[in-house]
Chains A and B, each alone.
Chain A
Amino acid sequence: MTNLPEAGNLSRRSFLKKSSLVPITTVLAGLRSEKARADAFADDVNVAVIGFGSWGREVAATLERIPEVRLAAIVDTYSVMLTRAERSFPDAATYEDYRAVLDDASISTVLIATPTHLHHQIAIEALDAGKHVYVEAPMASTVEDARAMARAARDATDQIYQVGLLSRSHPNYRSVFQFIRSGALGKATMARAQWHAKESWRRASPNREREIAQNWRLDSDVSTGLIGEIGTHQIDPAMWFLAARPVSVAGFGQIMLWDDGRNVPDTIQTVFEFDNGVHMLYDATLTSSFDAAYDVYNGRDSSIMFRDNRAWMFKEVDAPLLGWEVYARKDNFYKETGIALVADATQLDAQDVDPTEDDPNLETPLWYALREFIDNHAFGPYPPSAGYEEGYRAAVVAVKAHEATMNNERIEYDDALFEI
Chain B
Amino acid sequence: MVTVRLARMAMACRFELVLQGEHEPWLRAAGEEALREIERLEQMLSIFRPGSDVSRINARAAREPVRVNPTVFKWLEEAQRLHRQTGGAFDLTIAPLMQAWGFYEDGGCLPDAAELAAARRCTGMNLVELDTANRTVAFQREGMRLDFGAIGKGLAVDEAISILREAGVERAFLHGGTSTMYGLGRPFDEPGWKVVVPYPDRPAEPVGVVTLVDESLSVSAVWGKSFEAEGRTLGHVLDPVKGRPVQGAVLAAVVDPSGTVADAVSTALLVRGSPFENSAIRSLVIVVDDESDTYSILDAGLSADDHAVTRSAHS
- The reply to whether B27 and A204 form a contact with Cβ atoms under 8 Å apart is yes
| Least Cβ–Cβ distance between A253 and chain B, in angstroms | 19
The CA of A277 and the CA of B36, in the complex, are separated in Å by 39
A256 CB to closest chain B CB, in angstroms?
15
Q: Which of A191-221 contact B (CB under 8 A)?
A: 199-200, 202-206, 211
Interface: B281 (CB within 8 A): no
Per the CB 8 Å criterion, the residue count for chain B at the interface is 26
A143 CB to nearest chain B CB (Å): 30
Contacts of A89 on B, CB cut-off 8 Å?
70
Interface residues of B in 131-145 (CB under 8 A from A): 135
Which residue on chain A has the smallest CB distance to residue B27?
A: A204
Flag if A200 contacts B29 (CB, 8 Å).
Answer: yes
What 1/0 flags go to B124-157 for Cβ under 8 Å of A? Answer: 0000000000010000000000000000000000
**Interface membership of B167, Cβ < 8 A:** yes
Within 8 A of B (CB), among A339-389: 358-364, 367
> Shortest CB–CB separation between residue B55 and chain A, in angstroms?
6
Assembly CA distance A80 to B55 (angstroms): 31
A88 engages B71 (CB within 8 Å): yes
Q: Is A3 among interface residues, defined by CB-CB distance under 8 A? A: no
**List of B residues within 8 angstroms of A199 by Cβ:** 32, 36
- Is there contact, CB below 8 Å, between A88 and B70? yes
In the assembled complex, which residues on chain B have CB atoms less than 8 Å from the CB atom of A62? 69
Among A84, A200, A204, A367, the one with the most B-chain Cβ atoms within 10 Å of its Cβ is A204
Complex contact A362–B167 (CB within 8 A): no
A90 within 8 A of B: yes
Cβ of A206 and Cβ of B55 under 8 Å apart? no
A307 contacts B by Cβ under 8 Å:
no
User: How far apart are the CA atoms of A200 and B27 in the complex, in Å?
Assistant: 11
Q: For the complex, give the distance between the alpha carbons of A90 and B27 in Å.
A: 30
Q: For residue A360, which residues in chain B have a CB less than 8 angstroms away from its CB?
A: 50, 55, 58-59
Number of A positions contacting B (CB below 8 A): 31
Q: Which residue of B lies closest to A81 (CB)?
A: B166
Known contacts A200-B29, A204-B27, A204-B167; A364 and B67 CB within 8 A of each other: no
Docked complex: B43-63 residues within 8 A CB-CB of A? 50-51, 55-56, 58-59
Nearest Cβ on chain B to A103's Cβ, whole angstroms: 26
**Among B33, B67, B69, B135, which residue has the most Cβ atoms of chain A within 10 A?**
B69
Q: Which residues of A have CB within 8 Å of B58?
A: 360
Q: Which residues of B contact A359 (CB under 8 A)?
A: 50
Please pick, from B28, B55, B166, the residue contacting A202 in the complex, using a CB distance under 8 A.
B28
- Pair B67/A67 contact, Cβ less than 8 Å: yes
Quote the shortest CB–CB distance from A33 to chain B (angstroms).
12
Which of B51, B68, B168 has its CB near the most chain A CB atoms (within 10 A)?
Answer: B51
Complex-state Cα separation, A204 to B23, whole angstroms: 11
Q: How far is the CB of A306 from chain B (nearest CB, A)?
A: 15
Residue of B27, B40, B56, B168 touching A205 (CB-CB under 8 A): B168
Chain B residues positioned under 8 Å from A205 (CB to CB): 167-168
Which residues in B have their C-beta under 8 angstroms from that of A417?
none
Please give me the residue from chain B that is nearest to A366 by CB atom: B51
**A394–B68 alpha-carbon span in the complex (Å):** 33
Determine the residue in chain A with the shortest Cβ distance to B32.
A199
Contact B30 A204 (CB under 8 A): yes
Closest to A357 in B: B50
Q: Closest B-chain residue to A353, C-beta based? A: B59
Please tell me if B188 contacts chain A, counting CB pairs below 8 Å: no
Whether a CB of chain B sits under 8 angstroms from the CB of A54 is yes
User: Across the interface, do A200 and B32 meet the contact criterion of CB distance under 8 Å?
Assistant: yes
Identify which of A84, A206, A260 contacts B168 (C-beta below 8 A).
A206
Are A54 and B36 interface neighbours, CB within 8 A?
A: yes
Say whether A362 contacts B51, CB under 8 Å: yes
C-alpha spacing A204/B22, complex, angstroms: 13
Chain A neighbourhood of B25, CB < 8 A: 200, 202, 258, 260-261
Given the complex of chains A and B, what is the CA–CA distance between A65 and B26 in angstroms?
Answer: 35
Expressed in whole angstroms, the Cα–Cα distance for A358 and B67 within the complex equals 22
* CB of A393, distance to nearest CB on chain B (Å): 28
Question: Which residues of A222-257 have CB atoms within 8 Å of chain B's CB atoms?
Answer: none
Alpha-carbon distance between A90 and B40 when the two chains are bound, in angstroms? 21
Determine the chain A residues whose CB is within 8 A of the CB of B40 once the complex forms.
Answer: 54, 58
Residues of A within 8 A of B27 (CB): 204
Bound CA–CA A204/B34 (angstroms): 11
A65, B67: Cβ atoms under 8 Å? yes
**B69's contact among A65, A261, A362, by CB below 8 Å, is which?**
A65
Chain B nearest Cβ from A214, distance in angstroms? 9
Beta-carbon nearest neighbor of A62 in chain B: B69
**A348 CB to closest chain B CB, in angstroms?**
11
Q: Compute how far the CA of A134 lies from the CA of B68 in the bound complex, rounded to whole angstroms.
A: 22
Would A364 and B168 count as touching, CB distance under 8 A? no
Asked if B69 and A80 sit within 8 Å, CB to CB, the answer is no
Q: Tell me the complex Cα distance, A65–B56, Å.
A: 11
B-side contacts of A65, CB under 8 Å = 67-69
- Knowing A54-B36, A200-B29, the reply to whether A64 touches B50 (Cβ < 8 A) is no
Given A206-B168, A359-B50, check contact A90 B28 (CB 8 Å): no
A105, CB-defined interface residue at 8 Å: no
A361 to B56, CA, bound (A): 7
**Which of A54, A88, A199 counts the most chain B CB atoms within 10 A?**
A199
Report yes or no: B166 in contact with A80, Cβ–Cβ below 8 A. yes
Minimum CB distance partner of A84 in chain B = B166
Q: For chain A, residues 40 to 95, give those with C-beta under 8 angstroms from any C-beta of chain B.
A: 54, 58, 61-62, 64-65, 67, 80, 84, 88-90
**Residues on B with beta carbons closer than 8 Å to the beta carbon of A54:** 33, 36, 40
Further pairs besides A64-B67, A64-B135, A360-B58: 12, Cβ < 8 Å: A54-B36, A62-B69, A80-B166, A199-B36, A200-B32, A204-B26, A204-B30, A204-B33, A204-B169, A211-B26, A360-B59, A367-B51
A-B contact pairs, 27 of them (CB 8 A): A54-B33, A61-B71, A62-B69, A64-B69, A64-B70, A64-B135, A65-B68, A65-B69, A84-B166, A89-B70, A199-B32, A199-B36, A202-B25, A202-B26, A202-B28, A202-B29, A202-B32, A203-B33, A204-B29, A204-B167, A204-B169, A206-B166, A206-B167, A260-B25, A261-B25, A361-B50, A367-B51
